[in-house]
Amino acid sequence: MKIEHIGIAVKSLGLSDELFSKLLGTENYKQESVEREGVTTSFYQLGESKIELVEASREESPIAKFIDKKGEGIHHIAFGVENILEEIARLKNAGFQFISEEPKDGADNKIVVFLHPKSTNGVLIELCQEKK
Ligand SMILES: CC[C@@H](C(=O)O)C(=O)SCCNC(=O)CCNC(=O)[C@H](O)C(C)(C)COP(=O)(O)OP(=O)(O)OC[C@H]1O[C@@H](n2cnc3c(N)ncnc32)[C@H](O)[C@@H]1OP(=O)(O)O
Ligand SMILES: [Co+2]
């Protein structure tokens, strides 16, 4: 398992892309919308991890709700795993709760699931696996 990306909730990808390109000294390598999730993402490679800027693509997006409540900032940590089904089983066995146990298509050619922050010390954790 490794830190695959840090998700950062932003109001405007336009403004935040400009800020993060300056901050990181590199351009994003992709921008991608995931309509099911109600988000548009922008990815920056940072060594073996990434920064994922996440903007709400519609009103009822979880990102819109998060920003309304907590403002812009760190939203989630994504762990990259080899076998997401095995990790789900391991973590369920260890008593962790999932928002949904069924992996779904994420951004950046991944399948993803999320654990509920109430079972992970208040940190939203995403598991992601490269699509085969
Ligand atoms: C598809 C792209 C994908 C990728 O490929 O990388 C992404 O990263 S998409 C990222 C956006 N999608 C998600 O976040 C999906 C998972 N999130 C959810 O399902 C919901 O956001 C949630 C975590 C279940 C919360 O939704 P909800 O219960 O409707 O909102 P509340 O505001 O009532 O929150 C309940 C409770 O949880 C706390 N919370 C909410 N978001 C976070 C967070 N990001 N980090 C930590 N804690 C969070 C919130 O504060 C509430 O706690 P209490 O106030 O103590 O009740
Ligand atoms: Co993510």
Residue at token pair 């999730």: 37
Going by CA atoms, what residue is nearest to atom 37 of ligand 1?
117
Nearest ligand (C-alpha, residue 34): 1
**pLDDT, tens digit, 9 for 90 and up, residues 22-54:** 999 999 999 999 999 999 999 999 999 999 999
CA of 126 to the centre of ligand 2 (A): 6
* 112-130: average pLDDT: 98
* Pocket flag, ligand 1, residue 106 (CB < 6 Å): yes
Q: Given the CA of residue 112, which atom of ligand 1 is nearest to it?
A: 5
Grade residue 132 by pLDDT with cuts at 50, 70 and 90.
confident
List, in order, residues 6 or more apart from 69 with CB less than 8 Å away.
Answer: none
Closest-approaching ligand to the CA atom of 37: 1
Could you give the ipTM of this predicted complex? 0.98
**56 with 39: CB under 8 angstroms?**
yes
